[in-house]
């Protein structure tokens, strides 16, 4: 399967950072995702039940951000990848996580991870 569903620019608010002030405010992370999915089957039947529900994915990631606190973007990214693979049966994903304004003089910083068997 080489089909992918993508989500770009998903904003997730969470408590994240290592500095004391960061532990007292919510900050916005920006996620770009590519998720391996079987697109041919639902496309052939036009049946939404067989498709990867990208709205549910977005809602779950926002809830994930709201429910927890992290120091590192790496920890958030790993946890998000694990929950997507487990809860949505995604066999492979690529996740880009950006933390805007984290470093003076840079638009954003972050990580890019891939998990699972690449299609």
Residues designated catalytic: 99
d(CA 99, CA 96) in angstroms, rounded, equals 10
Strands (DSSP E) contained in the chain are: 4-16, 27-36, 69-70, 92-100, 108-116
d(CA 119, CA 56) in angstroms, rounded, equals 23
């Amino acid at each position: 399967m080489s089909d992918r569903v993508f989500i770009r620019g998903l904003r997730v608010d969470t408590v994240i950072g290592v500095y004391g002030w960061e532990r007292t405010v919510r900050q916005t992370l920006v996620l770009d995702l590519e998720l391996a999915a079987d697109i041919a089957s639902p496309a052939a039947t036009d049946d939404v039940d067989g498709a990867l529900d990208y709205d549910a994915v977005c809602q779950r990631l926002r809830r994930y951000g709201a429910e927890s606190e992290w120091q590192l973007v790496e920890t958030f990214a790993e946890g998000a990848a694990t929950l997507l693979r487990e809860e949505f049966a995604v066999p492979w994903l690529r996740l880009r996580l950006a933390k805007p304004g984290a470093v003076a003089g840079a638009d954003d910083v972050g990580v890019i991870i891939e998990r699972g068997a690449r299609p």
